[in-house]
Structure 1
Amino acid sequence: MIWDTHAHLDDPRYREDFEQILANIKMAQISRVTNVGYDLPSSENSVELAHRYEFIYAAVGVHPHDVEGVSAKTWERLLQLAQDDKVIGWGEIGLDYYRDLSPRSIQKDIFIQQIELANQAGLPIIIHNRDAHEDLLKTIKEHPPQHGGVFHCYSGSWEMAKIVLNLGFYISFAGPLTFKNSRYAVEVAAKVPRDRFFVETDSPYLTPEPYRGKRNEPAYVREVVAKIAEIRKLDFEEVARQSFENASKLFKV
């Protein structure tokens, strides 16, 4: 029982060998994959995929890179999609001050709007946070999500993780946990409570060792599970089962 809680299977990089990617998921014994939207078209694609494949679930939302140009019609359509039985989260949403592809003031405003929309839809949020720790924490404290959420591909310190956990959020680990220079993530993976972590790939990005340099895919989430098992001195199966149960609890699946 392994759940890749964050992937982008509708990415064009899977177009030529999509059936092989699905076969790899099956061979790797991945039970569930959450396909996560980053704008309106990808959110629609996620819902379509979720209906084509029983093991795929969907999340809908607008990534901070793509917040310029959203309109009332965008929110209206996303709220329609959010009513679908296979939509389990609102995301990925948040702040990205590393690339700064959208003005920060707009990022903040749209992040707040999407928290409110997720509350309206009755969904947990999937948070993207890059180099925006202070503003992001301030936002979720002032505009708390009513149905919880997860910090995807967690990159912060243990000190920040304690704040995140105290606010009721889950923490998700991806490929960077396996990198040799991954000091912060390793510390957090060692200390996070057993009932508060997920695993993910963020496919096709952030490929874990030993596949680093190649296109990522959900089958490689096994490497993240294995790394957590190594760090916590647990069996692979125990880590896989616990992360699966944790995701099931938040996403109510």
Structure 2
Amino acid sequence: MSKKDSRRELPPVPEALAASAVDAHTHLDACGAKTAEDVRELLDRAQSAGVGRVVTVADDLDSARWAVQAATWDERVFAAVALHPTRTKDFGPDDKAALEELVTHPRVVAVGETGLDYYWDYSPPEPQQEAFRWHIDLAKRTGKPLMIHDREAHDDILRILDEEGAPETVVFHCFSGDAEFAKACTAKGHVLSFAGTATFRNAKSLRAAAETVPLEQMLVETDAPFLTPHPFRGRPNQPYCVNYTLRDLAELRGMNVDELAVATAATAERVFGLEQG
């Protein structure tokens, strides 16, 4: 098999963790799942690696509707709904009404992913910021956690949260800051979720943040099918690969992997109100 072909292959399923972990942010639809059978297959594979529950996250309205439905197909799946910041250029009343309805579903455990993305130019900063403020208000009105997408927008994210008044629970999905920014976020009580990027050997400032964030404010995620952890960077990602991220971060922090799995699962249960796994 050529190197090019091998990069299209899923990483091997690792040895199962002794404790049941939670993938705090994934995209099951983008992983190729369409049906209940597809979802069960993904979750069965995850469970074989010790990853017992996932939060599947929407980035547009079609994805939001699908995520809510998928969360009813398998008790191991929960949903988060919002409009991704890169899609907010034409965010209108119909979109808001649809999200207002979807977020009330009992299997929806967060408003997300929302926030700011200054890397891509699909949507200018102004409509992104307006949509972000609206999602903050939605999270506060519904009492559900706010799941933030923050790409090259650290200062504006914190400024808008301060201006609007942050919801009780804020999760920085795929945290991308350094140790100083992590400290600023955790000092405000926010929760930081680390993806495969935190295992990349060239991500020294991010790894420094992952090394020091308090356990009770730490989550792990895949953001699958993207951001596959070391040593499989560049290959397709699925929820079971959070096992690799946990192993790497446990070594980084000098602790047992099952301890870290238990701690991050407990944080997920508290933050998202998940049933015990």
Q: Scaled by the length of structure 2, what TM-score is found?
A: 0.88
Q: Quick check: 2:43–2:76 contact (8 Å CA) kept in 1?
A: no
Q: Give 2:242's aligned residue.
A: 221
Flag the 1:107–1:49 CA change in 2: closer, same or farther, 3 A: same
Of 225, 250, 253, 2:271 maps to 250
Aligned-partner residue type, residue 156 of structure 1: G
Q: Give 1:75's aligned residue.
A: 96
1:134 Cα offset (Å) = 1.2
Query: How far, CA to CA, are the matches of 2:257 and 2:227 in structure 1?
Result: 21
Q: Give 2:179's aligned residue.
A: 158
Correspondence list, 1:100-179, <5 A: 100-179=121-200
Of 73, 76, 80, 1:59 maps to 80
1:66 Cα offset (Å) = 0.7
1:145 Cα offset (Å) = 2.6
Query: How far, CA to CA, are the matches of 2:151 and 2:167 in structure 1?
Result: 23
Q: Give 2:26's aligned residue.
A: 7
Q: Quick check: 2:148–2:173 contact (8 Å CA) kept in 1?
A: yes
Which shows bigger deviation, 174-183 or 19-28?
A: 19-28
1:181 Cα offset (Å) = 0.2
1:20 Cα offset (Å) = 4.2
Q: Give 2:257's aligned residue.
A: 236
Query: How far, CA to CA, are the matches of 1:22 and 1:124 in structure 2?
Result: 23
Query: How far, CA to CA, are the matches of 2:32 and 2:228 in structure 1?
Result: 14
Helix, strand or coil for the counterpart of 1:31?
A: strand
Aligned-partner residue type, residue 182 of structure 1: A
Q: Quick check: 2:146–2:167 contact (8 Å CA) kept in 1?
A: no
Helix, strand or coil for the counterpart of 2:79?
A: strand
Of 199, 204, 208, 2:220 maps to 199
Deviations 1:7-31 (A, max 9, x none): 0001164459936433311211211
Query: How far, CA to CA, are the matches of 2:151 and 2:262 in structure 1?
Result: 28
Gap regions ≥5 residues in structure 2 = 1-19
Query: How far, CA to CA, are the matches of 1:124 and 1:89 in structure 2?
Result: 5
Query: How far, CA to CA, are the matches of 2:42 and 2:110 in structure 1?
Result: 23
Q: Quick check: 1:124–1:145 contact (8 Å CA) kept in 2?
A: no
Aligned-partner residue type, residue 156 of structure 2: D
Aligned-partner residue type, residue 152 of structure 2: D
1:127 Cα offset (Å) = 0.4
Structure 1 runs of 4+ with >2 Å offset: 12-23, 144-147
Aligned-partner residue type, residue 3 of structure 1: V
Query: How far, CA to CA, are the matches of 2:31 and 2:263 in structure 1?
Result: 32
Q: CA RMSD in A?
A: 1.5
Gap regions ≥5 residues in structure 1 = none
Q: Scaled by the length of structure 1, what TM-score is found?
A: 0.96
Helix, strand or coil for the counterpart of 2:112?
A: strand
- Structure with larger RCO (C-alpha < 8 A, sep 6+): 2
The answer to whether 1:212 aligns with 2:233 is yes
Query: How far, CA to CA, are the matches of 1:249 and 1:170 in structure 2?
Result: 11
Of all paired residues, the percent bearing the same amino acid is 36
Deviations 1:170-191 (A, max 9, x none): 0010001111101112111111
